């Protein structure tokens, strides 16, 4: 193996301080810590007044916890994607400001006053709603994950991007407030012989998708708030579709029209894209549900271990588009042996679940993996298992087990193992 | 009451799905409104407006409006989508998925071109232009001859080569049974070897640590010069930024702006034409540049109003800005990006 130089100066710095902590029990310090013995400026002077930041941003020391783009993936940033910094977050709720973005013709701006939502097609009463109309329907709150079908897609051919943000960051998890799509369909008097709804956005791409009526009537939301506040423009302000457990492309942003139809439109986004080509050249379509999946977010390439051996919190996220997460196992040896992790809370349907493995690191190399099991009993497969069924030409729906190679110095790398 | 509800009430089967009484919210959508938005076209041709277009017309329209991203022969420029070629590649490694090799329905192409293209100027094509472009895309895929005419009349008869290349999601049958059940916990494999490493490939974007980011911010604040031109109207600049939405598909401005299918535009105002390093301009534009063309209020106004008549043969496939105030605004916006 060739030695790879670390690209991160901060890691080296962390290791210097971390190296001292080697024995069990609290470490001893030779000299008093001036941060304690000397009066610090923040303990003496005054901080900012209440209105220093009428809408607050994270403190400057967190300036690296941001969405990032992989420039070579797309022709330009208007029709592109960036990634949630999942390696630096904890808990399950994704703050809107760092939740990944995917646009097909850029993030547009529509005022609430200019917003219109039409329902037409096989309905008794074709209707137009304003934003204010939507707020008058009974509404619900639900936490759901939204994962792009292409999340981890760059890893099909082999380990490629070095960081959980880039391999697994096309996901976010928010609490949505909205009106069930079913309520709006009933308001328009939908024809029950209509088996599909076609839903499109107001942006130039329109990103229209056909959704079977059964799902539309089940749990789809027309949402206007996320995590308590208005949607961000990059997530579809003022109104977006929420399609629990199904691929992010169907979560139409800036939703402007719902058409009840007797067949699918077979739009660009459901034929030429978001279809999965198998080894024999035949492609699967309508692969809507996101299979159970998990990833260790820390330690990971962007979140190395900086404290040396001893107590270590291994943490990660798990989710399934087919229900709640029941269990997550973690392996430190590349899948030879597994330990069942602790779930921070019992898994919720179609929402992110946080898992922890509180462990004692011996300072030796690890091949860290996690494996999710959902309420259907489905166990997250390895990449080899996926390739056996799907071949190597797939892009979307890669829910394979991820491996991080953690070295004795705490650095981690995205690798593929036998 | 709808016919459906009447039947349900008569039968007394108001079970699932129980229709709740309408709240009477919203208003009736007018036929004109539905016509304006209900643009989708289904595989059987439902939704197509009357019209037709031939390959040769399509070639001309494509060259003017599509080729800057998709290439003259629909082969795709840089990372922009390839629309032609890729025959017999679907079962190979790295399949090339084009309209000809992959798309199962012709309606999808018509619908997408009509609804969302050209990139940055959507819904600007008339139906005949869309028919012609689609005819040309078929021609560039060797699916029709050069005398082919596509119209709403014969549209549904056209079968795409990969129409039978799709199956409905079968994961619950082909995958679920394999991977359900209690998994192995101990002695699950004999050995673990690294077979591939991301750092060897080295394609991950570099990232600055928080510390570096702070330093960059601090320096940038110190370096910001006092604005020299105080007379640029901020409202006009803001309006110009909106207009620039039409240009963004091909042109970048601001920090880190790069050449795309058009040159980057930092410092374009007041600069001689054809002067951005690394951009391959058209010969007609370079000829004008040699004659001393400089981009100022007058020349930019002329060019932006009608690019292809101002410089015949320019690569810029943009119809032009119709409103004088849009031109004025976008020029004001461009002046806010000096050459770094």
State the smallest CA–CA distance between residue B318 and chain A in angstroms.
Answer: 17
Q: What ipTM does the predicted assembly reach?
A: 0.90
d(CA B83, CA B61): 15
CB contact under 8 A, B204 and A206: no
CB contact under 8 A, B209 and A128: no
In chain B, where does DSSP find H-type helix?
A: 3-11, 31-37, 55-65, 67-70, 106-116, 127-140, 171-174, 198-201, 210-223, 234-243, 283-290, 297-305, 307-310, 324-335
Supply the range of the domain harboring residue B249: 234-335
- A38 in a domain, yes or no? no
pLDDT digits (tens, 9 = 90+) for A207-238: 999 999 999 999 999 999 999 999 999 999 99
**Eight-state DSSP code of residue B191:** -
| Domain end marker among A262, A284, A306 | A284
Residue B34: its chain A contacts at CB < 8 A? 118, 120, 126
pLDDT of residue A25: 64
| Domain end marker among B157, B174, B206 | B157
**CATH number for position B300:** 1.10.760.10
| Domain end marker among A261, A284, A307 | A284
Helices (H) and strands (E) in chain A, counts: 8, 24
A286 vs B203, higher pLDDT: A286
- B35 in a domain, yes or no? no
3-state SS class at A207: coil
In order along its 418 residues, chain A shows pLDDT tens digits of: 333 444 444 444 444 444 444 445 677 888 999 999 999 999 999 999 999 999 999 999 999 999 999 888 887 788 899 999 999 999 999 999 999 999 999 999 999 999 999 999 999 999 999 999 999 999 999 999 999 999 999 998 889 999 999 999 999 999 999 999 999 999 999 999 999 999 999 999 999 999 999 999 999 999 999 999 999 999 999 999 999 999 999 999 999 999 999 999 999 999 999 999 999 999 999 999 999 999 999 999 999 999 999 999 999 999 999 999 999 999 999 999 999 999 999 999 999 999 999 999 999 999 999 999 999 999 999 999 999 999 988 899 999 999 999 999 999 999 999 9
Residue A396: its chain B contacts at CB < 8 A? none
Interface probe, candidates A12, A152, A266, A280, chain B, greatest B C-beta count within 10 A: A266
A257 and A207 co-located in one domain: yes
pLDDT of residue B19: 64
A273 and A129 co-located in one domain: yes
What lies within 8 Å, CB to CB, of A35 at 6+ separation is: none
CB contact under 8 A, A161 and B208: no
The angle formed by the CA atoms of residues A266, A271 and A276, to the nearest 5 degrees, is 140
pLDDT of residue A6: 42
Task: Decide: pTM greater than 0.80.
Answer: yes
State the smallest CA–CA distance between residue A67 and chain B in angstroms.
Answer: 11
| Domain end marker among B103, B138, B157 | B157
Can you point out the beta strands (E) in B137-278? 149-151, 166-168, 194-197
3-state SS class at B6: helix
pLDDT digits (tens, 9 = 90+) for A142-169: 999 999 999 999 998 889 999 999 999 9
Let me know how long chain B is. 340
3-state SS class at A240: strand
Asked if the bond preceding A238 is cis, omega within 30° of 0, the reply is: yes
Least confident of A57-66, A110-119, B103-112, B230-239: B230-239
Least confident of A355-364, B246-255, B264-273: B246-255
Residue A61: its chain B contacts at CB < 8 A? 210
Residue A185: its chain B contacts at CB < 8 A? none
CB contact under 8 A, B29 and A392: no
Cross-strand pairs, A319? A293
Taking CB atoms and an 8 Å cut-off, how many pairs form between chains A and B? 290
CB contact under 8 A, A72 and B178: no
Give the chain A residue whose CA is nearest to the CA of B20.
A186
- B62 in a domain, yes or no? yes
State the smallest CA–CA distance between residue B225 and chain A in angstroms.
Answer: 23
Split into its structural domains, chain A has a count of: 2
Long-range contacts of A67-73, Cβ-Cβ distance < 8 Å, separation of 24 or more: A67/A98, A67/A99, A67/A100, A67/A101, A67/A169, A68/A165, A68/A166, A68/A169, A68/B205, A68/B207, A69/B205, A70/A154, A70/A161, A70/A166, A70/B203, A70/B204, A70/B205, A71/B205, A72/B203, A73/A154
A238 and A133 co-located in one domain: yes
CB contact under 8 A, B204 and A205: no
pLDDT of residue B220: 37
CA dihedral A347, A353, A354, A355 (to 10 degrees): 60
State the smallest CA–CA distance between residue A220 and chain B in angstroms.
Answer: 15
Instruction: Give the distance from CA B263 to its chain's centroid.
Output: 18
State the smallest CA–CA distance between residue A252 and chain B in angstroms.
Answer: 15
A302 and A280 co-located in one domain: no
d(CA A61, CA B26): 48
Supply the range of the domain harboring residue A218: 98-159+169-284
Please tell me which of the candidates B28, B115, B249 has its beta carbon nearest to residue A206: B115
Flag whether pLDDT at B218 surpasses 50: no
A314 and A271 co-located in one domain: no
């Amino acid at each position: 193996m060739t030695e790879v130089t670390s690209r991160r100066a901060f890691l080296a710095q962390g290791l210097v301080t971390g190296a001292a902590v080697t024995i069990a029990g609290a470490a001893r310090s030779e000299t008093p810590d001036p941060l304690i013995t000397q009066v610090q400026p923040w303990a003496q002077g005054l901080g900012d007044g209440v209105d220093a930041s009428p809408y607050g941003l994270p403190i400057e020391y967190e300036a690296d916890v941001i969405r990032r783009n992989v420039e070579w993936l797309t022709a330009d940033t208007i029709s592109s994607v960036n990634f949630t910094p999942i390696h630096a977050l904890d808990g399950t709720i994704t703050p809107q400001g760092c939740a990944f973005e995917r646009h097909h013709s850029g993030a547009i701006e529509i005022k609430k006053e200019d917003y219109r939502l039409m329902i037409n097609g096989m309905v008794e009463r074709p209707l137009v709603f304003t934003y204010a109309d939507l707020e008058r329907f009974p509404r619900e709150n639900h936490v759901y994950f939204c994962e792009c079908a292409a999340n981890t897609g760059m890893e099909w051919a082999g380990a490629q991007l070095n960081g959980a943000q880039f391999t697994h960051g096309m996901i976010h998890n928010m609490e949505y407030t909205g009106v069930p799509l079913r309520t709006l369909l009933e308001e328009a008097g939908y024809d029950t012989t209509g088996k599909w709804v076609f839903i499109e956005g107001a942006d130039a791409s329109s990103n229209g998708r056909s959704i079977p009526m059964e799902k539309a009537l089940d749990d789809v939301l027309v949402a206007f708030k996320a995590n308590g506040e208005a949607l961000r423009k990059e997530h579809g302000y003022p109104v977006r579709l929420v399609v629990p457990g199904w691929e992010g492309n169907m979560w139409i942003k800036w939703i402007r029209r719902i058409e009840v139809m007797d067949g699918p439109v077979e739009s660009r986004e459901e034929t030429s894209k978001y279809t999965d080509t198998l080894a024999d050249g035949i492609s699967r379509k309508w692969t809507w549900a996101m299979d159970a999946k998990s990833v260790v977010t820390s330690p990971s390439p962007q979140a190395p271990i900086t404290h040396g051996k001893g107590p270590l919190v291994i943490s990660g996220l798990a989710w399934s588009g087919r229900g709640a997460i029941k269990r997550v196992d973690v392996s430190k040896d590349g899948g030879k042996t597994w330990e069942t992790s602790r779930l921070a809370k019992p898994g919720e349907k179609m929402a992110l679940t946080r898992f922890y493995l509180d462990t004692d690191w011996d300072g030796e190399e690890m091949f860290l993996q996690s494996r999710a099991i959902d309420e259907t009993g489905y166990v997250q497969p390895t990449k080899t298992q996926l390739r056996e069924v799907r071949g190597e030409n797939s892009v979307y729906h890669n829910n394979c087990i991820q491996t991080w190679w953690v070295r004795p110095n705490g650095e981690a790398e995205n690798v593929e193992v036998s | 009451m709808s016919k459906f509800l009447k039947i349900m009430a008569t039968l007394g089967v108001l079970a699932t799905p129980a229709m709740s009484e309408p709240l009477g919210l919203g208003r009736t959508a007018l036929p004109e409104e539905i016509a304006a938005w209900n643009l989708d076209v289904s595989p059987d041709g439902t939704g197509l407006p009357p019209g037709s277009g031939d390959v040769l017309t399509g070639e001309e329209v494509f060259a003017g409006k599509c080729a800057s991203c998709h290439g003259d022969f629909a082969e795709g420029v840089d990372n922009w989508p390839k629309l032609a070629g890729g025959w017999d590649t679907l079962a190979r490694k790295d399949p090339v998925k084009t309209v000809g090799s992959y798309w199962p329905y012709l309606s999808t192409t018509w619908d997408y071109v009509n609804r969302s293209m050209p990139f940055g100027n959507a819904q600007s094509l008339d139906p005949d232009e869309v028919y012609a472009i689609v005819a040309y895309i078929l021609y560039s895929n060797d699916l029709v001859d050069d005398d082919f005419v596509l119209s709403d009349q014969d549209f549904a008869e056209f079968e795409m080569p990969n129409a039978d290349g799709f199956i409905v999601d079968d994961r619950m049958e082909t995958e679920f049974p394999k991977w359900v059940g209690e998994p192995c916990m101990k002695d699950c494999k004999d050995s673990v070897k690294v077979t591939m490493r991301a750092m060897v490939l080295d394609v991950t974007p570099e990232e600055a640590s928080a510390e570096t980011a702070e330093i960059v911010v601090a320096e940038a604040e110190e370096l910001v010069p006092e604005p020299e031109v105080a007379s640029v109207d901020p409202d006009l600049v803001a309006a110009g930024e909106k207009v620039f939405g039409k240009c963004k598909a091909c042109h970048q401005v601001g920090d880190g702006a790069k050449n795309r299918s058009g040159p980057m535009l930092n410092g374009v105002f007041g600069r001689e034409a054809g002067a951005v390093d690394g951009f391959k301009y058209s010969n007609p534009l370079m000829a004008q540049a040699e004659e001393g063309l400089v981009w100022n209020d007058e020349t930019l106004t002329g060019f932006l109003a009608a690019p292809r008549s101002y410089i015949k043969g320019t690569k810029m496939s943009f119809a032009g800005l119709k409103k004088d105030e849009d031109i004025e605004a976008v020029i004001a916006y461009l002046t806010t990006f000096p050459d770094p």
